[in-house]
Structure 1
Amino acid sequence: MTEPIPPITLPPSQNPELEGEWLKQRLQGWLDAEFIPEAVNQSIAERAAQIFVRQRMEGENDLGSLVIAIVTEMQAFDFSKSFYGEFAIANAVSDLLLESLGIDKCCGQ
């Protein structure tokens, strides 16, 4: 029988606004590099970072919960001018955070 993947917990936030700015810049860079740079990418990155910052300010440290919050709240975002959707954004945020923690996003190690 396979073992469940253990939860990934981020360290408590010392400066959520600074984390949000880092995430916004990294996410926009990822969005621009993945397909083509689009004006909407800045809005997507800003909205995802806002959600992330609010969740961190509320004390959320569980990566899975942060991803669910981003998926849920980004459903209200208008992605009609983008190649992306809420799941792609939440997954990208997860990958960026895992990378920042030194965790291999491919194999969960």
Structure 2
Amino acid sequence: MSEPIPPITLPPAENPQTEGEWLQHVLQRWLDEEFLPEPGNHQIAQRAAQIFVRQRMEGENDLGSLVLAIVTEMQAFDFSQSFYGEFAIANAVSDLLLDSLGIDRCCGQ
């Protein structure tokens, strides 16, 4: 029988605003490099970072819960002028956070 994947817990937030600024910067860079730089990438990264900061300020440290919050709240964002959607953004945030923690995200490791 398969073992469940253990949750990934971020360290407690010491400065959520700084984390949010970092996330906004790296997410926008990822968005611009993944397909094409688009005018909406800044707004997408800004909104995702706002959600992330608010969640962290409320004490959320579970990566899965953060991803779900981003998916849920980004559903209200207008992606009509973008290549992206809420799931792509939440997955990118997860990958960027895992990379920043030095966690290998390949093959479920």
| Residue 89 (str. 1) matches residue 98 (str. 2) | no
CA RMSD between the two structures: 0.6
How many Å separate the matches in 1 of 2:81 and 2:7? 34
- The alignment of Structure 1 onto Structure 2 pairs a total of residues equal to 109
Shift of 1:108: 3.3
How many Å separate the matches in 1 of 2:58 and 2:70? 14
State the partner residue of 1:20: 20
Shift of 1:105: 1.2
State the partner residue of 1:101: 101
Give unmatched runs, 5+ long, in structure 2: none
- TM norm structure 2: 0.98
State the partner residue of 1:77: 77
User: What SS does the aligned partner of 1:12 have?
Assistant: coil
Which consecutive segments of 4 or more residues in structure 1 shift more than 2 A?
A: none
State the partner residue of 2:32: 32
Shift of 1:44: 0.1
Q: Deviation per CA, 1:2-50, whole angstroms, max 9, x where unpaired?
A: 1110000000000000000000000000000000000100000000000
Give the fraction of aligned pairs with identical amino acids, expressed as a percent.
82
How many Å separate the matches in 1 of 2:105 and 2:95? 6
Shift of 1:106: 1.4
Give unmatched runs, 5+ long, in structure 1: none
How many Å separate the matches in 2 of 1:73 and 1:35? 23
- TM norm structure 1: 0.98
Shift of 1:92: 0.1
